[in-house]
């Protein structure tokens, strides 16, 4: 048996560019520090009123867990808006368009987890405006 622990205070946050006119987002990889081999994970901090890139992953099932604040997800095609508070979970199956967003006035923190480990083949889609 083995395990790894990654403490929040030890996370290394990397700035990710925001959409035009938006503050940058920040991501902290968990895959390498936790020595994950069968899945991938990352923590995300989204400032108020920011969004990630709309995409679909043909190979990976992705799990999103809000830890602080309300995470908004635009899911499917045509898209449907889903708001998830801390303690909730969103599971997005392979090939489903998705976009993570922060529609609130405060920073949010969430965990994004995916398996299998295949990556780099996501299809990026045109952005949409939420209602």
Three-class DSSP labels, the chain: CCCCCCCHHHCCEEEECCCCCCCCEEEEECCCCCCCCCCEEEEEEECCCEECCCEECCCCEEEEEEEECCEEEEECCCCEEEEECCCCCEEECCCCCEEEEECCCCCEEEEEEEECCCCCCCEECCCCCCC
Q: Is 16 within the bounds of a domain?
A: no
Q: What is the per-residue pLDDT across 54-93, written as a single tens digit (0 to 9) for each? A: 999 999 999 999 999 999 999 999 999 999 999 999 999 9
pTM above 0.85, yes or no: yes
> Number of folded domains in the chain?
1
Q: Is 21 within the bounds of a domain?
A: no
pLDDT of 131 reads 54
- CATH of residue 81's domain is 2.60.120.10
The domain in which residue 63 lies consists of: 28-124
Q: What is the mean pLDDT of residues 38-64?
A: 96
């Amino acid at each position: 048996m083995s395990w790894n622990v990654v403490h929040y205070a030890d996370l290394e946050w990397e700035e990710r560019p925001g959409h035009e006119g938006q503050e940058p987002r920040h991501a902290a990889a968990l895959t390498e520090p936790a020595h994950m081999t069968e899945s991938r994970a990352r923590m995300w901090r989204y400032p108020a009123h920011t969004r990630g890139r709309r995409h679909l992953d043909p190979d990976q099932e992705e799990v999103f867990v809000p830890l602080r604040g309300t995470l908004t997800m635009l899911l499917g095609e045509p898209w449907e808006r889903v708001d998830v508070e801390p303690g909730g979970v969103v599971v997005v199956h392979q090939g489903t368009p998705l976009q993570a967003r922060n529609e609130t006035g405060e920073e949010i923190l969430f965990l994004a987890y995916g398996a299998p480990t295949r990556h780099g083949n996501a299809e990026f889609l045109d952005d949409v405006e939420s209602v």
